């Protein structure tokens, strides 16, 4: 894997790519050697555009490693939640075929190896409650508010 650390409005983000695509995006910096790689550069550019409100859909190749079948189904569903929208943990559980698995969806979101790009921040508790997020609730709120603002601005123009 090749690694990079970038600055963002929510703090440092650590990115990793392999020969297939982006395989890690974590909150915070990492104590790893920083590489130069065209895919790392592209990921950094797309994230910069996302935070500027100029990008609503990432077009990066992804390399999702590991995860149980259930976790992979959850991660796939996360990529289907439209920009600026949210689903509850219960909604996601129902969509992936296990209506009683809301907590397991939360665990799968916590294990999501490619945060933001695979948008686990769009999953909220029942009634829209802000619960659980590896980057912290303030970061989750920031990402959701960014997407809501851009969505409204797009509708009004």
Q: Could you tell me where the beta strands, DSSP code E, fall in the chain?
A: 2-6, 13-17, 22-27, 87-88, 123-124
User: In the Cβ-directed half-sphere of 123, how many Cα atoms lie within 13 Å?
Assistant: 31
Please give the radius of gyration of the chain, using alpha carbons only, rounded to the nearest integer: 15
**Which H helix or E strand runs over 46?**
helix 38-51
Burial of 152 (0-12, 13-18, 19+ CB in 10 A): exposed
The single residue of 15, 120, 123, 124 carrying the catalytic annotation is 120
Q: Is 109 a catalytic residue?
A: no
CA dihedral (118, 18, 13, 9) in degrees, to 10, reads -60
Do the beta carbons of residue 71 and residue 38 sit within 8 Å?
no
Do the beta carbons of residue 35 and residue 4 sit within 8 Å?
yes
Q: What residues are labeled active site?
A: 120
């Amino acid at each position: 894997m090749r690694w990079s650390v970038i600055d963002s409005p929510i703090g440092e983000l650590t990115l990793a790519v392999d020969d297939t695509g982006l395989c890690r995006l974590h909150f915070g910096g990492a104590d790893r050697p920083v590489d130069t790689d065209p895919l790392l550069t592209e990921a950094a550019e797309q994230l910069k555009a996302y935070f500027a409100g100029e990008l609503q859909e990432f077009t990066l190749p992804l390399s999702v490693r590991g995860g149980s079948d259930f976790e992979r189904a959850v991660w796939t569903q996360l990529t289907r939640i439209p920009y600026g929208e949210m689903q509850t943990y219960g909604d996601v559980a129902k969509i992936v075929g296990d209506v009683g698995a809301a907590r397991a969806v939360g665990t799968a979101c916590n294990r999501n190896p490619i945060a933001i790009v695979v948008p686990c921040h769009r999953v909220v508790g029942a009634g829209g409650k802000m619960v659980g997020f590896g980057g912290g609730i303030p970061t989750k709120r920031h990402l959701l508010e960014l997407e809501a603002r851009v969505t409204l601005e797009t509708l009004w123009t």
